[in-house]
Amino acid sequence: MGIKEKLPLINSDKKGIRIAGYIIYAFIFLNVLGAILPAPDSSETEAGSIKDQSAEVVPNTVDEWYTAAVSIDPQNEDDARKKIEYYQHVLDVDPNNLSALWGTALTYRYNLEDATRGLEYLDTILKLQPRNTYFLDKKSVFLEDSGNTEEALAIQDEIISIATDGKPFSDNEWGDEAEECNELLTLSHAWTAKGPLAVKLKLGPGVGTEYVEKGREYSKQWDKCKGYA
């Protein structure tokens, strides 16, 4: 018996039925073939896709390296080190780039938990801008996080000294107010930061509260300086 005799639909005398038969049997054949052949490895497909995507962008300018570094949200040590590597490309060209230095300091301190390296980069910034009260405050925070509470308190005292010596100091990132208002805001922040440090160091009953209250008073003066009160 030939194949047509075994497949009655394509053996029909009617042309329409024969055409329909060919379509039906072709559909069945393709489904059987799909069940027999192995499916492609999805992991290989995804890996290939990721590889293609990674090959699309290769930073080669300072701005591109910086943008690439900022775009990395470290989820593990490899990510953090890649972020630092990108910042380093910026620093190779512009060693005084504050943004890249600060980004590197933050990555070492909080993503790699390397306080020593973090402080090294922060100190590099402060060599460039020794009176920058914003970065001095960040050094105080780094020191406190590392358990160096006395040094952290000393930094806040240094900030207070800078804000009250009557000399201009570097612009900080707490606002773009006029210098006199800036000083008041800086003093408010420094005295407020000293409060919990005093408590940790057990400087005496009520000392921490006294410091925080001074911070509030400077905050009120800042409000007046800005015309808010």
DSSP 42-73: HHHHHHHHHHHHHTT----SHHHHHHHHHH--
Point out the least confidently predicted range of 9-18, 52-61, 168-177: 168-177
CB 142 within 8 A of CB 109: yes
Give the pLDDT confidence of 121-141 residue by residue, as tens digits: 999 999 999 999 999 999 999
Give the pLDDT confidence of 58-82 residue by residue, as tens digits: 888 999 999 999 999 999 999 999 9
Radius of gyration for the chain, computed over Cα atoms and rounded to the nearest angstrom: 34
CA separation for the pair 17, 26 (Å, rounded): 14
Q: Is the pLDDT of residue 51 over 90?
A: no
Angle between helices 115-128 and 98-106 (to 10 degrees): 160
Mean per-residue pLDDT, 15-30: 60
Instruction: Quote the pLDDT of residue 60.
Output: 85
53-128 is classed in which CATH architecture? Alpha Horseshoe (1.25)
CB 135 within 8 A of CB 126: yes
Instruction: Quote the pLDDT of residue 174.
Output: 39
Mean per-residue pLDDT, 76-89: 97
Q: Which residues are CB-neighbours of 57 under 8 A, at least 6 positions away? A: 68
Instruction: Quote the pLDDT of residue 215.
Output: 97
* Residue in 177, 183, 188 with CA at minimum distance from that of residue 216: 188
pTM, full prediction: 0.71
Give the pLDDT confidence of 153-162 residue by residue, as tens digits: 999 999 999 9
CA separation for the pair 175, 142 (Å, rounded): 22
Of 58 and 27, more confident = 58
CA separation for the pair 123, 121 (Å, rounded): 5
